């Protein structure tokens, strides 16, 4: 190999020279173009990109915390909902028991009225009978 490059070395050199072109993504006017036409990022742009990345990571952490807070709040609301459902069930049961007690009391009142009517009629009839017996002689 006197002055000639092997295919492997030529391919490696081409890969090294073209790799910045393959992996860089130009983003506009702020990029400086070198004489070979390979895109480079300036130091200022690198700082801006790192700052933006840090800001996005911070926002991601904040959103994660907000999500955890929302999940905790949702769990609390679900617990309150469960407690409310149990209270509603207990109120419905109490309402049904009160309704049954009211019906029972109403039936008792009807029986007492019937009994008092019967007793009143019997008493009045008995008194008339006694008066008829006394005055009928």
Q: Is the pLDDT of residue 85 over 80?
A: yes
| pLDDT tier for residue 110 given thresholds of 50, 70 and 90 | confident
Q: Is the pLDDT of residue 125 over 60?
A: yes
Contact indicator for 25, 35 with CB cutoff of 8 Å: no
pLDDT at 22: 54
Q: What is the CA radius of gyration of the chain?
A: 49
Task: Please give the Cα distance from 16 to 116 (Å, whole number).
Answer: 115
User: Tell me, what's the pLDDT at 41?
Assistant: 63
Top-confidence residue, 85 or 112: 85
**Which H helix or E strand runs over 39?**
strand 39-40
Q: Where are the domains of the chain?
A: 43-127
pLDDT of residue 81: 93
The residue ranking higher by pLDDT, 26 or 123, is 123
Quick one: 41 exposed, middle or buried, by C-beta within 10 A (0-12, 13-18, 19+)?
Answer: middle
Tell me which H or E stretch contains 72: helix 43-136
5-57 per-position pLDDT tens digit: 677 676 666 666 665 555 555 555 544 554 554 555 677 777 888 888 888 88
Q: What's the pLDDT score for residue 136?
A: 74
Alpha-carbon distance values, 114 to 66, 109, 111 (Å): 71, 9, 5
Minimum mean pLDDT range among 31-40, 104-113, 115-124: 31-40
CA–CA distance, 120 with 128 (Å, rounded to integer): 12
What are the angstrom distances between the C-alpha of 89 and each of 53, 73, 78, 93, 99?
53, 24, 16, 6, 15
The pLDDT value recorded for residue 80 is 93
Two tokens at 65?
């915390």
pLDDT of 89 higher than 80: yes
């Amino acid at each position: 190999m006197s002055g000639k490059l092997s295919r492997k070395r030529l391919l490696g050199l081409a890969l090294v020279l073209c790799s910045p072109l393959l992996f860089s993504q130009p983003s506009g006017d702020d990029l400086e173009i070198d004489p070979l036409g390979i895109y480079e990022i300036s130091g200022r742009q690198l700082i801006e990109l790192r700052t933006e990345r840090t800001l996005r990571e911070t926002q991601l952490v904040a959103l994660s915390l907000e999500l955890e807070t929302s999940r905790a709040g949702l769990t609390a609301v679900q617990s309150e909902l469960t407690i409310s459902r149990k209270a509603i069930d207990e109120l419905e049961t109490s309402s049904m028991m009160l309704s049954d007690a009211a019906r029972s009391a109403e039936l008792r009142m009807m029986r007492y009225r019937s009994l008092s009517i019967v007793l009143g009629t019997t008493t009045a009839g008995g008194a008339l009978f006694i008066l008829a017996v006394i005055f009928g002689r």
